Structure 1
C-alpha cells in the first residue's frame, strides 16, 4: 500500500510538470494532479482492459495502432471526470500518457530495489 501511495504521489508530480511542456494540457494545481494520477490509475486498471477486449478486431485490422486511440480515450475520460484538468487535441494526450507511463515504470523499477 505504501508503494502505491509513493507511486501515486510521484505520478501526481509528473502530471503537475507535464503541462509546462505540452501546451494543450492544463492542470489546476497539485491536488488536481494527484487526483488525475489516481483516476488514470483506476481507469487503466479497470476500464482500459475492457476497451482492449472490445476493440480486439479493430486493433488487429490496424496492426495495433488502435491501441493508441484507446490510450488517448483514457486521458479524455479523465478530462471529463475531473474539473481542473483539460486536454485538447490527439497528440498531446498521447504524449502525456506515454510520459506518465515512463514515470510509472521508472518508479516501479526503483521501488523493487
Structure 2
C-alpha cells in the first residue's frame, strides 16, 4: 500500500515537472496533479492496455516508439476529465509523454537504488 501511494505521489510530481518543461502542458496545482496522475493511471491501465494490445504490430515495427503516441492520446484523454489539467495540442501531449517517460524512468532508478 505504501509503495502504491509513493508511486502515485511520484507520478504527480512527474506531471508537475512535465508541465514546467513542455509548452502547452498545463497543470494548475499539486492537487490537480494528484487527480491527473490518478486518472491517467486508471485510463492507462484500462484503455491504454487495450490500445497497446491492438497496436502491438505497429509498436514492434517502430521499436516501441508508438507507445509514446498511445501515452500521448491517453494523456490528452485524461486532461479532458480533470479540471486544471490542459494539453493544448497533440504535439504538447506527445512531448509531454516522452518527458514523462524519462522522468518516471529516472524516478524508478532512484527508488530502486535506495532499496
Q: How does 1:4-83 map to 2 (within 5 A)?
A: 4-56=4-56, 59=58, 63-64=61-62, 66-83=66-83
Report the TM-score, using the length of structure 2 for normalisation. 0.79
Equivalent residue pairs, number: 111
SS of residue paired to 1:46: helix
Going from structure 1 to structure 2, the CA distance change for 1:107 and 1:3 (only over 3 Å counts) comes to farther
Q: 1:14 to 1:66 in 2, by over 3 A?
A: closer
Secondary structure of 1:26's counterpart equals: strand
Q: State the Cα distance separating 1:48 from its structure 2 match.
A: 0.9
Tell me, yes or no, if the aligned pair for 2:68 and 2:98 is still in contact at 8 Å: no
Unmatched runs of 5 consecutive residues or more in structure 1: none
Report Cα offsets for 1:37-89 as digits up to 9, x if no partner: 122222222211101222345x26x9335443322211111011111111022
Q: Which residue of 2 aligns with 1:93?
A: 93
Q: Secondary structure at 2:26's aligned position in 1?
A: strand
Distance 1:109 1:56 in 2: 26
The CA RMSD measured in Å over matched residues stands at 2.2
Question: What SS class does the counterpart of residue 95 from structure 1 fall into?
Answer: helix
Partner secondary structure for residue 20 of structure 1: helix
Shift of 1:6: 1.3
